[in-house]
Structure 1
Amino acid sequence: MDKLTIIGSEEWCGFETLGIPAIKARVDSGAKTSSIQATNIKVFIKGAQEWVKFEVNPIQDNRSIAINCEAKMIDRRTIKSSSGIAEERYVIRVPVSLGDQTFDVELTLANRDTMEFRMLLGREALNNRYIVNPAENCMVKDFTDAEITKKYATYFKEKTGLKIAILASNPELYSNKRLMEAGEMRGHEMVFLNVEHAYMKLDAYSPEIRYRGGNILNEFDAIIPRIKPAVTFYACALIRQFDNLGVYCLNSAEAITQSRDKLFASQLFSKNDIHIPITGFAKSPMDTKDLIKMVNGAPLIIKLLESTQGKGVVLAETNKAAESVINAFKSVQTNILVQEFIKEANGQDIRCFVVNGKVIASMQRQAEKGEFRANIHQGGKASIVKITLEEKKLAIKAAKVLNLAVAGVDIIRSNKGPLLLEVNSSPGLEGIENATGKDIANSMIMAIENKLKVRT
């Protein structure tokens, strides 16, 4: 015991063979195996053995630094996360340096973006080497921010001259932070613009967009709109103004407006031979009974025309309940859609993320027990899924019909084949990046580079 080194609950580790000079680990004797953050994991054959390629973002809350690693795979294991979800992970064995000591450690490769630390040091690595003092941190070695910046200096890219703005409402949202990081990682100047702090001057000679304090916004090359429903009208006016000033907008105001109007979008889908659940729309309460019958009766879905993220969506389990809810909405002059309920979907749907006419990632969402909507915001569970060619074509066509360069396309599997549920013009990145391990924010920045013919 006297020969064991005392370490804290947090320690800096290094992996020379992986090219990682420093990564802070959570020391957890309750976990058996150590783990490191990894994305874009790919298995390949080298010398008749299985190896893995992967990317590590060693600094927490900073994906602008990405280190490409590869190592021999020694195992595949089913690991249960702290949330109780079991998943198969690849296992590698590499030398780790902790202070003056270097020894081999087994690491599982896992997406730890939502975790507090990029690495976890488990008890297998601690046995016969260390004693943990949970009240202390970085007892072996600590680094200042300046020292970490110096260690990773070669990974910082020079600016290319592109200036890109995220037009949204909350800079702390995962999606907005990821896009800022991804743009900076590719060498661009990224700026967050709050929709409600911008205003415009309409003039034939000198049109302008200004920002709180009177600053004129006239130097942007591109805008990434991330628009919440409450500010759709005003935000789209700003997007049109940016477009008039010659700024490229990743999604146009027209495309966003069409996607937010579920009735108009449904009409466009029907016109373009895109199959959706049978949908009804009526004004008078006198037509309610036939409206219900038209969509094959209860159970059925009732949704507000401008609902997003599963909000404003109701399941009516009987015809009587459906009639009451529909008439209640009509009595307060609220426009709704009535849609057939796809029972065989069992609370599952598929989110396809489309960028510039390609499905770059897909996940399956499963609703909580007793729920019918699988939205992540409402407790739905996400997992990676392999979609069919028919589903891929459906997602691409739906985004194209609405003229969206970036879209989250929701599909449901039915006995009649895949059906389109809806298309989101400001799809969230957190659920699908965590489920698939893919760097979607990077793909969105690359879409802007391709459009503006800029190379980094």
Structure 2
Amino acid sequence: MFADKVIVGSEEWCSFPELGIPYIKARVDSGAKTSAIHAINISPFLKDGESWVKFDINPIQNNVQTLLHCEAKLVGKRVVKSSSGFREQRYVISSVLNIGGSQWTVEITLTNRDSMGFRMLLGREAMSGRVLVDPEQKYLLGIPSSDSIKEVYKFSQVTSLGLRIGVLASNPELYSNKRIMEAGEMRGHDMHFLNIKECYMKLDATTPQIRYRDGRILNDFDAIIPRIRPSMTFYGSALTRQFETLGIYCLNSAAAITQSRDKLYSLQLLLNHGLEIPTTGFANSPLETNDLIKMVGGPPLIVKLLEGTQGKGVVLAETKKAAESVINAFKSVNANILVQEFIKEANGKDIRCFVVDGKVVAAIQREALPGEFRANIHLGGTASVVKITPQEKKIAIKAAKAMDLKVAGVDIIRSSKGPLLLEVNSSPGLEGIEGATNFDIAGSMIKSIEKVFETKNSQWTKKHFKSTDKNETSED
């Protein structure tokens, strides 16, 4: 009964000859229904009138330099719930799996597995009727030698920059922070997580310092990636400014972070750069409430606390009476608020563009769950890949530049008046957009830092050789 079945352990090496993948390590998981393979830069296309998809893969964990370009006929799309509970829509392909000398065709979903321990997950659908799993064993079908792996993949050297990079944030377990740490380590950098609350500084004209926990001095970093949550804006920005004082490169500057967190000032700044926003009103006195409501087009309208974080301190007032009540309630406790028109035709959707170094590297459409309150902001729901228009791309790039942000999440809403800019986020999350697009955004952030130091090294080399040339004498 079992003689014709392949016996495997909980981890095995396999290959996909049709995709040109000679070796890939798989996690064998009978608890998972669907199989998945690591894929980035996924792009569907037509081939002989049929739907195909091309994608890139780093087949070896912790090696981003070894990159394979693959393509396969598209089977379809499927919504898959990941182990972290996040639902994403994935492309599904079909290809021949080779494991232990046995071959058969399996369906595989394409997704970014950078944060996972294995580039391949073999689920029960692919194993049904063909495989028996011994969960106590590993690599029952053998392990390829490191020499054979190096030979077939012709390993490239990891970047020689070897930078010391700190991630300045609050939660080391947050997906975004973990991904940035992993991406930096994969590219050969010395990565350190720096908890904002455990950093403190010495202000001094001759020996300024930043210290950590028990007095360790942090003056020897090459670069800092600030990931500052809204509640820590003041202190996090102060620390970023101190790193800048020490001559340490910060991916987003303290000034850019500070102005992006000031809702009113950031809107004024964006308008000064010719960017359209939903009609917005701001007043100090409750006496102007009626005119304020009229000014933004009447109810329904949005009331936003200036000091509120994203998704908090936001109220949808559907009637004039409700709007008056909410505005006057906030004013009675001296809270600063914005009043903004409600974009009904957006139908609970907005667009998040992720900008790195003046380029939109990925974009998603975010849609509220049925019945969920949404007030011109993203409060959750589902995310899917979206093709943005040239105008929307231009808006996103211009907004990031106006805020002087190297890395930014730019939120746009589609209205009857055209695309409108909602907000520019200086510490945008990675999980939703990486999961939906399968684009290595964390890697692109690390590459942005590398470019700065490659340029510095190049400039130093040119300067050095230029000065050397001046001191040389020709020998006739």
Provide structure 2 residue ranges, at least 5 long, that are not aligned to the other structure: 459-476
In the TM superposition, residue 19 of structure 1 has moved relative to its aligned partner by 3.5
Alignment of 1:180-219 (within 5 A): 180-219=181-220
Map of 1:69 onto structure 2: 68
Deviations 1:135-175 (A, max 9, x none): x444663999xx99x97895783763311111111111111
Alpha-carbon distance change, 54 to 334 in structure 1, aligned in 2, over 3 angstroms: same
CA contact (8 A) 1:344 1:414 kept: yes
Deviations 1:382-417 (A, max 9, x none): 000111111111111111111111110000000111
CA–CA distance in structure 2, aligned partners of residues 376 and 27 of structure 1: 40
CA–CA distance in structure 2, aligned partners of residues 162 and 107 of structure 1: 40
The AA in structure 2 aligned to 1:229 is P
- Report SS of the residue matched to 1:241: helix
Alpha-carbon distance change, 356 to 65 in structure 1, aligned in 2, over 3 angstroms: closer
CA contact (8 A) 2:29 2:124 kept: no
Map of 1:240 onto structure 2: 241
Map of 1:106 onto structure 2: 106
CA–CA distance in structure 2, aligned partners of residues 376 and 286 of structure 1: 28
CA–CA distance in structure 1, aligned partners of residues 434 and 421 of structure 2: 22
Alpha-carbon distance change, 401 to 128 in structure 1, aligned in 2, over 3 angstroms: closer
- Report SS of the residue matched to 1:23: strand
CA–CA distance in structure 2, aligned partners of residues 179 and 263 of structure 1: 30
1:25 matched to 2:11? The reply is: no
Map of 1:358 onto structure 2: 359
Map of 1:453 onto structure 2: 454
Alignment of 1:25-64 (within 5 A): 25-28=28-31, 31=33, 34-42=35-43, 52-56=54-58, 59=61
1:389 matched to 2:390? The reply is: yes
CA–CA distance in structure 2, aligned partners of residues 321 and 183 of structure 1: 50
CA–CA distance in structure 1, aligned partners of residues 142 and 336 of structure 2: 58
CA–CA distance in structure 1, aligned partners of residues 75 and 24 of structure 2: 26
- Report SS of the residue matched to 2:184: helix
In the TM superposition, residue 263 of structure 1 has moved relative to its aligned partner by 0.5
- Report SS of the residue matched to 2:29: strand
The AA in structure 1 aligned to 2:57 is E
In the TM superposition, residue 10 of structure 1 has moved relative to its aligned partner by 3.7
The AA in structure 2 aligned to 1:41 is I
Map of 2:80 onto structure 1: 81
CA contact (8 A) 1:367 1:374 kept: no
CA–CA distance in structure 2, aligned partners of residues 269 and 122 of structure 1: 48
Alpha-carbon distance change, 58 to 321 in structure 1, aligned in 2, over 3 angstroms: farther
The AA in structure 2 aligned to 1:68 is L
- Report SS of the residue matched to 1:184: helix
CA–CA distance in structure 2, aligned partners of residues 158 and 342 of structure 1: 47
Alpha-carbon distance change, 122 to 425 in structure 1, aligned in 2, over 3 angstroms: closer
Map of 1:441 onto structure 2: 442
In the TM superposition, residue 237 of structure 1 has moved relative to its aligned partner by 1.1
Alpha-carbon distance change, 81 to 66 in structure 1, aligned in 2, over 3 angstroms: farther
Map of 1:15 onto structure 2: 15
- Report SS of the residue matched to 1:446: helix
Alpha-carbon distance change, 374 to 12 in structure 1, aligned in 2, over 3 angstroms: farther
In the TM superposition, residue 86 of structure 1 has moved relative to its aligned partner by 8.4
Map of 1:420 onto structure 2: 421
CA contact (8 A) 1:374 1:381 kept: no
In the TM superposition, residue 16 of structure 1 has moved relative to its aligned partner by 6.6
CA–CA distance in structure 2, aligned partners of residues 219 and 12 of structure 1: 42
Aligned residues: 445
Stretch deviating more after TM superposition (287-296 or 424-433): 287-296
Stretch deviating more after TM superposition (288-297 or 43-52): 43-52
CA–CA distance in structure 1, aligned partners of residues 138 and 402 of structure 2: 58
The AA in structure 1 aligned to 2:252 is N
The AA in structure 1 aligned to 2:103 is F
Map of 2:474 onto structure 1: none
1:369 matched to 2:370? The reply is: yes
Alpha-carbon distance change, 215 to 296 in structure 1, aligned in 2, over 3 angstroms: same
CA contact (8 A) 1:71 1:92 kept: no
Stretch deviating more after TM superposition (401-410 or 446-455): 446-455
Deviations 1:56-78 (A, max 9, x none): 4665xxx6557533455244323
- Report SS of the residue matched to 1:254: helix
CA–CA distance in structure 2, aligned partners of residues 448 and 175 of structure 1: 17
Alpha-carbon distance change, 112 to 142 in structure 1, aligned in 2, over 3 angstroms: farther
CA–CA distance in structure 2, aligned partners of residues 432 and 440 of structure 1: 8
Map of 2:3 onto structure 1: 3
Stretch deviating more after TM superposition (17-26 or 170-179): 17-26
Stretch deviating more after TM superposition (50-59 or 179-188): 50-59
Deviations 1:11-43 (A, max 9, x none): 424217413342213225x84x64323222246
Provide structure 1 residue ranges, at least 5 long, that are not aligned to the other structure: none
TM-score normalized by structure 1? 0.87
Deviations 1:327-356 (A, max 9, x none): 111111211111000000001000011111
The AA in structure 2 aligned to 1:233 is F
The AA in structure 2 aligned to 1:379 is G
TM-score normalized by structure 2? 0.83
Paired-residue identity, %: 54
Alignment of 1:135-150 (within 5 A): 136-138=135-137, 141=140
1:166 matched to 2:172? The reply is: no
Give RMSD over aligned pairs.
3.4
Alpha-carbon distance change, 324 to 197 in structure 1, aligned in 2, over 3 angstroms: same
- Report SS of the residue matched to 1:3: coil
Map of 1:328 onto structure 2: 329
- Report SS of the residue matched to 1:209: strand
In the TM superposition, residue 186 of structure 1 has moved relative to its aligned partner by 1.5
CA–CA distance in structure 1, aligned partners of residues 47 and 16 of structure 2: 21
The AA in structure 1 aligned to 2:105 is V
Alpha-carbon distance change, 274 to 421 in structure 1, aligned in 2, over 3 angstroms: same
